[in-house]
Amino acid sequence: MIVLLLLGAFVSVGLADVVEEKYGATCIMDLPTDTYSIEFESFRTWRPKVLWKRDDPSYSQDSRLQVTPSSFTIRQVTQRDSGLYVMKDKYKHELKRRTLKVKENMETYELGSGEQLRFSFDLEPNVCNIYFIPKTKSEDRGLKIVIVDQGKLQTYLEKLNCSGFELLRPCGILMRDPQMSCEGYFEIRDGRSDKVLEVELRKTVTETHTKDPLYTVIGVFCWDCCTYRLLLLLREVLQMLGIFS
């Protein structure tokens, strides 16, 4: 019986609510009334770190963090904020835990002939990096073409099969009537290489039916043939009526 109670207590404390947010969003977590400290274990290192402690402002150095008596807020989240958040009381007893998963924003565009591709994100130019992965190489995301590096449009792009890029501020690109070879994925990454935005470009092909000269000749022949038969039929009707002899 005691073992079951201990297991129940472990499960109730050990399980963490999971929250998913997009890069750049604001995450708000509810705080238990007796919360004295907030610890964070990153998915990348799994090393506990004290983010906030009541009556000790030295831990609250990140301007993105805000703590009120009832909530804990993280503004402009990135993948580096992904991990486990543990709320404890002054005796270091665990009160609550919350898991945060931050993912990139995603957009998809299907463009026909003459349409333009335009996308951007509110990111400082000096940490703006944009990459292109052609559709034929999309299975191997390691093969990336650098379009923008630290806010600067690269100069060798005109030599590529996919070209015609224009830099948009604060962090984006514009393409007027992109070629079929531009099908694939575009990635915006920040200065720490966290993925901010993934854009998929699909090109639609407009079918054009070319008139075959053979069909034109057949059509003219059929038209003349049908017209001749109609004239013969009309003549017979007029003869029957005595109008035409």
The reply to whether 2-103 and 105-203 are identical in fold is: yes
Question: Strands 17-22, 94-103: parallel, antiparallel or unpaired by DSSP?
Answer: parallel
Reply yes or no on whether the pLDDT at 84 is more than 60.
yes
Q: Is the pLDDT of residue 138 over 50?
A: yes
Those residues whose C-beta lies under 8 Å from the C-beta of residue 124, and which sit 6 or more positions away, are 151, 170, 171
Q: Report the phi/psi class of residue 114: left, alpha or beta, with left for phi > 0 and alpha for psi in -120 to 50.
A: left
Tens of pLDDT, residue by residue over 193-216, are 999 999 999 998 765 444 455 444
Average the pLDDT over 140-169 and give the result: 88
Q: What is the residue extent of each domain of the chain?
A: 2-103, 105-203
CATH of domain 2-103: 2.60.40.10
**Percentage of the chain exceeding pLDDT 90:** 64
Q: Which is more confident, 136 or 113?
A: 113
Asked whether 112 and 201 are in contact (CB, 8 A), the reply is no
Query: What is the reported pLDDT for 205?
Result: 74
Question: Which of 10-24, 69-83, 84-98, 144-158 has the lowest average pLDDT?
Answer: 10-24
Q: Mean pLDDT over residues 47-53, rounded?
A: 93
With 60 as the cut, is the pLDDT of residue 6 above it? no
Check if CATH label 2.60.40.10 holds for domain 105-203.
yes
Predicted local confidence at residue 209, as pLDDT: 47
Q: Tens of pLDDT along 96-131? A: 999 999 999 999 999 999 999 999 999 999 999 999
For residue 244, name the pLDDT band (cuts at 50, 70, 90): low
Residue type, 226: C
Residue 244 corresponds to which tokens in the numbers above?
A: 């035409």
pLDDT mean over 186-192? 97
